[in-house]
Amino acid sequence: MSTDTLNLTLRVWRQDSSEDKGRFCSYQLNNVSTHMSFLEMLDVLNEQLIEAGEEPVAFDHDCREGICGMCSLMINGQAHGPDKATTTCQLHMRRFKSGETITIEPWRASAFPVLKDLVVDRSAFDRIIEAGGYVSVNTGNAPDGNCIPVPGHRQEIAMDAAACIGCGACVAACKNASAMLFVSAKVSQLAVLPQGHPERNQRVISMVNQMDSEGFGSCTNTSECEAACPAEISVTNIARLNREYLKASLVADV
């Protein structure tokens, strides 16, 4: 066998629907190119299953460029796999060894119910954004980009927080299935900019309340979320979220 190909055993989570209990199924996949991405390997597996008359494995994907965050998989117990700051679609098969068994699972969180196989419903994140993760503006011509001065260091903080792609790895990696890193990134990117100040207090209250109502767990500061995040969002955003929430809670009209 060429050193550029792998023979693998895949343990893949199969689940017909949210009501199904689900189970692991094992598949043998031979002659996998080390130049393939992880999702390309799953494409090959599905072609093999279809040729055998079996149901292909359902998995989420879109951009395949590490931007959209849809390729959310637990690979050998790690969110997005073994590479740091890497999404599943950016992971390549050269990170694995021939003869290895790879276990592939969906995100595990009650707020992310499994829809089918490796696909989970992450619409809880959308509802948190709808609760306040935006800035209200008047319609009409776009304002001049330089009309509101923003200090450079604040711009950098906001951009670092805005790098969150909403994949949910932080939730999947957290022992409590906490969404604090995601929510804190979305709160921080607006809280530090002047454009976000008019709705600052109501925003953090509404988003945290929605997070709690979705059933996410609490944060216990183990920082596994930061380690698993492909965008390397810092847990300092969680500290900022806590400060924002405390200050907003003290405002009488909120």
Same domain, 92 and 111: yes
Question: Whole-number mean pLDDT of the chain?
Answer: 94
The last residue of one of the domains, among 91, 115, 139, is: 115
pLDDT for 252: 56
Q: The sheet that has 23-33: what strands, in order across it?
A: 23-33, 5-14, 101-105, 74-75, 78-79
Span 235-247, pLDDT tens digits: 999 999 999 999 9
Span 160-190, pLDDT tens digits: 999 999 999 999 999 999 999 999 999 999 9
pLDDT band with cut points at 50, 70 and 90 for residue 149:
confident
The last residue of one of the domains, among 97, 115, 133, is: 115
Please tell me the least confidently modeled range out of 55-59, 81-85, 146-150, 218-222.
146-150
Domain extent, residue 168, equals 123-249
Same domain, 69 and 127: no
Same domain, 80 and 138: no
- Residue 80 CB burial class (10 angstroms; 0-12, 13-18, ≥19): buried
Please tell me the least confidently modeled range out of 56-70, 72-86, 210-224, 239-253.
239-253
DSSP 143: P
Angle at 162 between CA 60 and CA 117, to 5 degrees: 15
Residue 145 falls inside a structural domain: yes
Same domain, 168 and 68: no
Residue 254 falls inside a structural domain: no
Same domain, 84 and 183: no
Q: How many domains does the chain have?
A: 2
The last residue of one of the domains, among 115, 146, 177, is: 115
Span 75-132, pLDDT tens digits: 999 999 999 999 999 999 999 999 999 999 999 999 999 999 999 999 999 999 999 9
Spatial CA neighbour of 244 closest among 189, 195, 175: 189
Higher pLDDT, 138 or 201: 201
Residues 6+ apart with CB under 8 A from 84: 227
Across 22-29, average pLDDT: 98
